[in-house]
Every structure is written in C-alpha cells, then in structure tokens.
Structure 1
Amino acid sequence: MMDKLFLDTNVVIDLLGEREPFYESIAQIATLSDKEELCIVVSALTYSTVFYILSRFEGSEIVKEKIRKFKVISETSDLTNQVIDKALTSNFRDFEDALQYFCALNSGAGVIITRNGKDFKDSELPVMSPDEYLSSLK
C-alpha cells in the first residue's frame, strides 16, 4: 500500500515558492507523488493561504497556475463542520494547526509532513520533516 502524506501549509509554500534551502526535499516528495509512488494530501485551507502568501511575491496568475499544477498531483481534504468542531475543542494552541491536524486525520493520511513538528506535539500520527521522511525511505 502506498504512503499517504498530509502536507502542512509551510511545506507547500516551500514547494510552490521554491524556497531555499527547503525546496529540494519537498520537490522530491512531489516527484514521488507525480510518479504515483505515494499520495499527498493538503487541506482546502492550504490553497487560500498559499495563494495569499505567494501572491505577495509573484503575480496572482502565476500563483494560480502553480496551484493548478499542484492539484494534479495531490488530493484535497475538505474543511468540514466536523473538522472545525474538533479543532475548536482541541488542545492545540494554534487554531490553524488544529484545522490542519484534523484534516490530516479525516483524510486517512499516515504521516504529517511539516517543518514545524512542535506544532503537532500531541499528534496521533507520525510527524516528520520532508528530509526525515525521505531518510525513512532509504
């Protein structure tokens, strides 16, 4: 069975914004998804956040095109009432992190990929950086 990875917003920004020194490892994960060797999932919330941040540095049409291409290799976890309710009653300090976490659970992902592992310290799912995940494959 292929791995299903939930990507936190920060690593999607690294990928689509080609942010160094983080780009290479998340690009390798995206390539594995493109080759259908694993499945990547993001929350619906991620798209608006990525657009908001990247459009400060690039034209909005360029950012939309990057998101369109990314959607081809990823799945979207919906931001449902159930996800929002769980996030509202959770122990997460940051509401956005709680939304991401419960979207990850809802999607059936087996791992959360983020550069901010401390934000998910109470996670029932393994939490790894892109580099840690790639190292686990070796």
Structure 2
Amino acid sequence: MQRIFLDTNIVIDFLGERDGFYEPAAKIMTLADHKKIKIFTSPSSISNTYYLLSKYENTKIAMEKIRKFKVLCAISLMDDEVVEKAINSDFKDFEDAMQYFSAIASHCDLIVTRNEKDFKNAMIPVMNGESYLETIKK
C-alpha cells in the first residue's frame, strides 16, 4: 500500500474546507478511507492545523475535526534524528526540512503539498494534490 505524507497545507485545506483547495484533499482522504493508500502527517502539522482552525471556529469543533482526521491518518516520526537531519540539511525552510525528514523516517513514498518548490532536493516524489490524483488515474 502506498504511503503518502500530507504537508500541513493539505491538512488545513481539508479540515478548513478551503475554497479552491478542498476537493483534491478530500479525494485523497477518500482514498485513505477506502484503504487504497495510507496517509501520514507530522505531529507539528496536527498542532499547527488545530491552532489555525481554532482561530476561525469554536475550539471544540476544531478538536472534533482533528479527532476525526486522526482516525484516517497515521502520525509520522518526529524524533531526535529527524531534528538533527533537518538542522544539518540544505533546506531553506526549517519547517519543510522537518516535514521532509519526518516523511522519510516514516518510509513514505511521496509527499503531497502545495509548495512543491520548497522540496526541490527531495529524494522521494513531491507533488500537489491534483498531480497526485492524476497519477492514480493512470
């Protein structure tokens, strides 16, 4: 089964039902719900998503969304080794480095993000939601 890492922006697109971005994220979540793929995200993605959702929604609703999302999503590793690799990497954005090395440590096959350019030196494929869904159709 393919292991897909969702970057924070994709998690926010889905749980925040963001106009113009929700549909691809929802389709990816449906694939996970049907056990066609296994999705992962990092602990920091979960906390950052909750923080942003709680700014615009009731905190209980935000937490319920996180709770339901967690049923479909595994949490990737984010340990001392991930942090060390991120610190010593050539990523321009430290948060992206943390996400990348967390995905690698969790043996993910690819990363889905809306910021592909931020992962230009990645050793696994990085694509946006629409591009990923196109590869599934083929």
> TM-score w.r.t. structure 2 length?
0.97
Whole-Å separation in 2 of the counterparts to 1:78 and 1:62: 26
Q: Paired residue for 1:41? A: 40
- Report Cα offsets for 1:47-99 as digits up to 9, x if no partner: 11001111111111111100000000010012100000100000011110000
Gapped runs of 5+ residues in structure 2? none
Matches within 5 A, 1:29-68: 29-68=28-67
The AA in structure 1 aligned to 2:92 is R
What pairs with 1:19-34 in structure 2 (closer than 5 Å)? Answer: 19-34=18-33
Count of aligned residue pairs for this structure pair: 137
What is the alpha-carbon distance in structure 2 between the residues aligned to residue 99 and residue 29 of structure 1? 22
CA offsets per residue over residues 21-61 of structure 1, 9 Å max, x none?
01001100001101111000001111110011111111111
Q: 1:91 & 1:60 partners in 2: Cα distance?
A: 37
Question: What's the Cα RMSD here?
Answer: 0.6
Tell me the TM-score normalized by structure 1: 0.97
Q: What CA distance in whole angstroms lies between the structure 1 residues aligned with 2:6 and 2:28? A: 10
Percent identity among equivalent residues?
A: 49
1:121 aligns with 2:136: no
Counterparts of 1:6 and 1:59, CA distance in 2: 27
Aligned mates of 2:78, 2:37 — CA distance in 1: 22
Shift of 1:20: 1.1
Amino acid of the structure 2 residue aligned with 1:78: L
